[in-house]
Structure 1
Amino acid sequence: MPIEISVFSLYKKIIKNYYNHNNFVVFRKPYDKKIFFYSHYDSVGEKFFLIQNFNHNHIIKIHPKNIYSVDIQKTYKQENISPSFWEKNSSFLTDSYKYKKLIKKAIESIRKGFLTKVVLSRSIKIPFRNFYFKNTFMKLIHTYPNALISLWYNFHYGFWIGSTPELLMKCHDKKLKISALAGTIWGLKNWTRKEIEEHKIVVKYILHLLKSYRGSIHIKNTKTIKIGHLKHLETSIYFSFYKEPNYYEILSCLHPTPSICGFPKKNSLDFIHKNEGYERNFYTGYIGIVNQTNMELYLNLRCVRIKEDKKEMILYAGSGITIDSDIHQEYMETENKIKNILSQLIFK
């Protein structure tokens, strides 16, 4: 059972682990009323926090000696929070030429029949002087109640903070849940064939994967979920196995899904590695809790890498490219996804 502590004690633990260069994570699961804290301890327990990068060649496991929790309702007070970077720099835009050229190249590959969908991403760097970790984390919690909010630290990779809406997989005993989330609109836009077909590719991929297992499947109706000013299509898929499977095997086959990579998987991965032009690192990897064979893992989206030594932040965003894609709209989707997290960052 988690040990409940005060928010002051939590800050002390975070600072101590940071100065000792020890891995730690602070997180709040969707709709939860508690913040949890894990810091790495030199023993391998049954429960740990798992962080995996996009290319599956870097993995971090945070094995805690004790798990601590803070009750948000008891500790949170509405504060006069400083304006965010976005509010102070409303005209902030990024160079669009390179990314639009990449989208055009992807559409040409799709027309030639090499791909059905490919998810292309980009990153932007912003300088900063002083950053409010605490205020940003609390703002994310209260702005995005239906997302996993996380802040983790590793000596080699620095700080990462994010608010991801996408559950990759949740499993317990013989029960599995996978969330297919793809298709994005904003403002007064309505769903079009492009987003609907893009979403169907992800659903079909998951169903095809589960066909090789014996059990019963239940697919919920596709719904619209809101994350700030963005809307996404989400389909929840449940599977009850007759016999408990190897969930690590399922995880290995599942990730990366077409929601962050594309389809067919091999072709889309090849296109990304040859053309994207930068290292995604832990963006579009996965993060979450593992307890023996039970897992609750989320795709690492709407995230920011914070390089304290260089006083620099890296933000990431991507969009799913299909035959029906409009180059400018795909670019604007990434702008809006960057705004979704950038608008919550608090600076002194």
Structure 2
Amino acid sequence: MNNLLELGLVPFFIQQLNDVSLLETQLARVTAVQRSRLTVVTETGEKVVELSPALLQAEPTDRPTVGDWVLLDASLARITDVLERKSLFKRLGAGSSSEIQPIAANVDILFIVTSCNEEFKESRLERYLALCAEAGAMPVIILSKADLADDVDQYVQRARRTQAGVAVETANALDPDTLAGVRSWIDSHTTVALVGSSGVGKSTLLNTLAGHTLTATGEIREQDRKGRHTTTHRQLHTLPDGGLLIDVPGMRELRVADVDQSLSTVFKDIEALATQCRFADCHHDSEPGCAVMKAIETDSIDSRRLSNYKKLLRENAQATATLAQKRQQGKDFARMVKEVKRIKQSKHAE
């Protein structure tokens, strides 16, 4: 079982098995997803498998993704079941899609990587932090390219203000000697997902932590000091000193849905102040007795932060309503199909 232990197998997953013998035969962890092909690792080695018909028809979030623990059929060629997850990092699909897309499962820590340059944006970090809270993982903000910044401390302070108590580490992804703080978050059973915009140095960080090249990296563009997008699919890698890293491609869009409680986690300061407003339905705009606006006037809270909070609330409300409508339509359609089958069976019986 050493193979599976190195892949992060813990009692939470073992306890879900009805038959312990499945550990040596049919239990596997998904290490890569490329369209319809999935790569898994079992006790006996790596395999490329497909999904069972039931999983092919399942909702996207019920299908296996990178980091999932799954059961294979007797032929070891098909995934039949997905074990209950400890966490799931997901997002609303890009563009006009109203589907929730699973990104990485059973993640313990989410490394949110951003650069100490023009790419750094608090509003984007707050969006990642909300999705991380919803996933049930611990966030750690990694400030890459710290060696190129004139004032790293300002980026550290700005990052810390995105969520109370959030951990922040600085790094030069090319220099192993600067990664002690980053490494301290990874132990032998920890699964970490690397997320962030394209070109912030995720692949470089992964390669340096691994001690050798696991994935290609891009050159830095001179005009804006940004790297080029290199990761094309999600993949789980084991580190030589223990622990696992999932490299996630940069996402152009990071839309949110179903994150009501998570926004409360990220914007706890604003929500705490809101309870002190004169009116319970205060919009924190121009109402008299608004505690939030008073905090902005005294520079206790940045107006940008309030603006992003309102934006995420609106986006979440709209997307969540759309999802609820789609789910209801799915239930109505399922009831209709069931009723048609019942009528056909009744007529056949006559």
Smaller-chain TM-score bracket = under 0.3
Please state which structure has a larger fraction of its residues in helix. Answer: 2
- Whichever structure has more strand as a proportion of its residues is 1
Larger radius of gyration: 2
TM-score (norm 1): 0.24
Higher RCO, 1 or 2 (CA under 8 Å, sep at least 6)? 1
